[in-house]
Amino acid sequence: LAKTTQPISMDSYEGQEVNITCSHNNIATNDYITWYQQFPSQGPRFIIQGYKTKVTNEVASLFIPADRKSSTLSLPRVSLSDTAVYYCLFCKAAGNKLTFGGGTRVLVKP
């Protein structure tokens, strides 16, 4: 069964770059790597998704090495409002289960 492993928590300071690495056990050929952000008392929201190499959007960058056994979410110049839980998970090209792991709790300090 495909599974992700990521750190339980990370602390950072405003203006720093935060990198969260996720290890993927048995990622399948047709799996996309997807990251979600969750603030307290809210549902998760999509941040970024990739298949291989590097993807960048207005919020974050996602780095995926050639073997796809890990991925790194990079949050540039974080602010206090980036304090949240970040989840790494697989998203299959052809739907069905969307399973979350424990996530990484990121605390941004002033």
Partner 1 sequence: NAGVTQTPKFRVLKTGQSMTLLCAQDMNHEYMYWYRQDPGMGLRLIHYSVGEGTTAKGEVPDGYNVSRLKKQNFLLGLESAAPSQTSVYFCASRGSGAGTEAFFGQGTRLTVV
Q: Which of residues 17-56 bind partner 1 (CB under 8 A)?
A: 32, 34, 36, 41-46, 49, 51
Which of residues 23, 57, 79, 99 is near partner 1 by CB under 8 A?
Answer: 99
Q: Please identify which residue in 27, 62, 103, 108 interacts with partner 1, judged by CB under 8 A.
A: 103
Distance CA 84, CA 3 (A): 21
Tokens standing for 19? 């990198």
Closer by beta carbon to partner 1, 13 or else 30: 30
Both tokens of 43, joined, read 């549902």
Task: Compute how many residues bind partner 1; rule: CB under 8 A.
Answer: 25
Q: Which residue in the set 66, 81, 95, 110 belongs to the binding site for partner 1 (CB under 8 A)?
A: 95
Q: Which amino acid is at 16?
A: Q
Q: Which among 39, 17, 16 has a CA at the least distance from the CA of 110?
A: 16
SS3 call for 31? strand
Q: Please compute Rg for the chain using Cα positions.
A: 13
Structure tokens at 63: 């780095």
Interface segment toward partner 1; rule CB under 8 A; list 18-26, 63-71, 73-81, 95-103: 95-103
Q: Which residues bind partner 1 (CB under 8 A)?
A: 32, 34, 36, 41-46, 49, 51, 85, 87, 91, 93-103
